[in-house]
Chain A
Amino acid sequence: MSWIENILIILGISLDTYATMEVEGAMLAEVKKKQLVITCALVALLQLLFYFGGYFICYELDEHELIPRSSDVGYIVAAVVFAMLGIRLIVKAIKRGIIHEKRKDGLKVREYIKIVVVTSFYTLVAGGACGLVETSVAMMAVVIIVLSILAVIAGVYTGLHFGIETKTGTYVMGAIVLWIVGVEVLLVHVFGMIG
C-alpha cells in the first residue's frame, strides 16, 4: 500500500481513540502532564503491539505460502477494515447517548482502556493486512506512535476546552474518509481500475 493509505488506515483507527479521549478530557478541570504522558505511552504501546502482532502473524503465513494470492487478500482485508471501521464510527455517531459531564480527578486508565483495547482489534486486523502487502515496518511504527500520541493529546485538550460537542462530527468525518480510502484500495489494488 502507498504511504498515504498506510497513514489513513492508522488515522481512521486513531479517530476512535481521539473521540474516547475527548470524552475523558471533557471531565477534567486541568490536564496533568504526567497522566497525559502515561496515557500517550499506553495507547501507542497497545496500538504497536496489536498492529505488529497481526503483521507478523500474516507475514509468517505469507512466508510459508499458506495464504494464496496474499497480496490481493491483504488489500481486500484492508478495504474491509476501512469499511468496518467506518460503520463502527457511524453507529457510534448515531447512538449519541447522553454523556453526563462530571468532573473527574484525572485520566484514569481503567476508564478508557476498554475502548482502546476494542479499537486495537481493528489495528490487529489492519496489521495483518499490511503483513500481506509491502509495507515498511519502520515507517508504520513511526506513524502509529505519532498518530496515537496526537490522537490522545488532541482528544484530551479538545474535550477540556470544547466538551464533547465535536464527537459526532469527528465520527462522521472519520467514517467518510475511511470509506473513500477503502473504495480507493479496492479500485486501485484489487480491480486495477485506476493507475
Chain B
Amino acid sequence: MTIQGKNGIDVILAESLKELSESRPIDKITIKEITDKAGVIRPTFYNHFQDKYELLEWIVREELVNPALPLIDNGLVKEGLTFIFTAMEKEKTFYTRAAKIEGQNSFAEMIFICAKEMILSHMNVDEVQAKGKYDWVTPDLIAEYYAKSMCVVVMRWVESGMKVPANEFVDVFMSLAKEPLFGLF
C-alpha cells in the first residue's frame, strides 16, 4: 500500500478507487464498484466518506500533503514539494484522471484548498498584517492569491500528462514562486 493509513477501511477504499481509475474516468466510477473491489458492503462507504470526491480529497491529503508537511514545517520547502510532485508522478494515471473532474468537486479546487491551507499555516500572519497598508488585504486574501497561481501551474503540469519530470517541475515551480512579477519586465 502506498498510503500511510490511519484507518484500514479508508486505505482499502482509496486503493480501490485508484485501481478503478486505471480503466475509467473517476466521474463514471460508482460507489458500488469501489466497495465491491474493496471487498466491503456498499453502506460501509458512507460510514467513512460522504461521496467519492471526499475520498479523493482524503487521498490527496494523506498521500501528498500530510507526508510533505514535516519537511515544509522545518524549512525544507523544495524537498517537501519534490515529495509531493514525485508522489503524483508515481500515480500519474490516477492524478491525470482526477484532473479531469470539473465543477465544485474538481481536483483543481482540492489543490487550491490544500495550497491555501499550507500557505496560511506557514505564513507569519502578524508580520503580514503589520506590513499591510489596507485592512481589507487580509492574510486569507494573500494566501488565496498565491494558492491560485500555484494551482494553475500544477494543473497545467498534470493536464499535460506530467511530461516534465517532477524534479525539473519543482525547480521551475520554485523559481516562479520566488520571482516577483515586475522582475520579469
**Residues of chain A at the chain B interface (Cβ within 8 Å):** 26, 28-30, 98, 100-103, 160-165
* In the complex, chain B residues whose CB is within 8 Å of the CB of A100: 51
Residue of A26, A102, A160, A162 ringed by the most chain B CB atoms within 10 A: A102
Interface bin, chain B = 10 to 19
Encode B34-53 as 1/0 by CB contact (under 8 A) with A. Answer: 00000001110011011110
In-complex Cβ contact of A164 among B27, B30, B41, B43 (8 A): B30
Q: Pick 23 A–B contacts, CB within 8 A, sort by A.
A: A29-B43, A29-B46, A29-B47, A30-B43, A98-B28, A100-B51, A101-B31, A101-B51, A101-B52, A102-B50, A102-B51, A103-B46, A103-B49, A103-B50, A103-B51, A160-B42, A161-B41, A161-B42, A161-B43, A163-B32, A163-B42, A165-B30, A165-B32
* In the complex, chain B residues whose CB is within 8 Å of the CB of A164: 30
Chain B interface, >50% SS class: helix
- Tell me the number of A-to-B contacts counted with CB atoms below 8 Å: 34
Distance, CA A71 to CA B9, complexed state (A):
62
Nearest-CB distance from B109 to chain A (Å)?
A: 15
Encode B70-110 as 1/0 by CB contact (under 8 A) with A. Answer: 00000000000000000000000000000000000000000
Distance, CA A72 to CA B171, complexed state (A):
82
Distance, CA A30 to CA B47, complexed state (A):
9
Nearest-CB distance from A115 to chain B (Å)?
A: 21
Nearest-CB distance from A160 to chain B (Å)?
A: 6
Shortest 4 CB-CB contacts between residues of A and residues of B = A29-B46, A163-B32, A102-B51, A103-B46
Residue of A nearest to B50 (CB): A103
Residue of B nearest to A26 (CB): B31
**B43 to A28, Cβ gap below 8 A?**
yes
* In the complex, chain A residues whose CB is within 8 Å of the CB of B28: 98
Residue of B27, B28, B46 ringed by the most chain A CB atoms within 10 A: B46
* In the complex, chain A residues whose CB is within 8 Å of the CB of B49: 103
* In the complex, chain B residues whose CB is within 8 Å of the CB of A102: 50-51
Q: A28-B46, A29-B46 are in contact. Are A101 and B30 (CB under 8 A)?
A: yes
Residue of A nearest to B44 (CB): A29
Nearest-CB distance from A25 to chain B (Å)?
A: 10
Distance, CA A93 to CA B32, complexed state (A):
20
Residue of B nearest to A98 (CB): B27
Q: A101-B31, A101-B51, A162-B42 are in contact. List 15 more A-B contacts (CB 8 A).
A: A28-B46, A29-B43, A30-B43, A98-B27, A100-B51, A102-B50, A103-B46, A103-B49, A103-B50, A103-B51, A160-B42, A161-B43, A163-B31, A163-B32, A165-B32
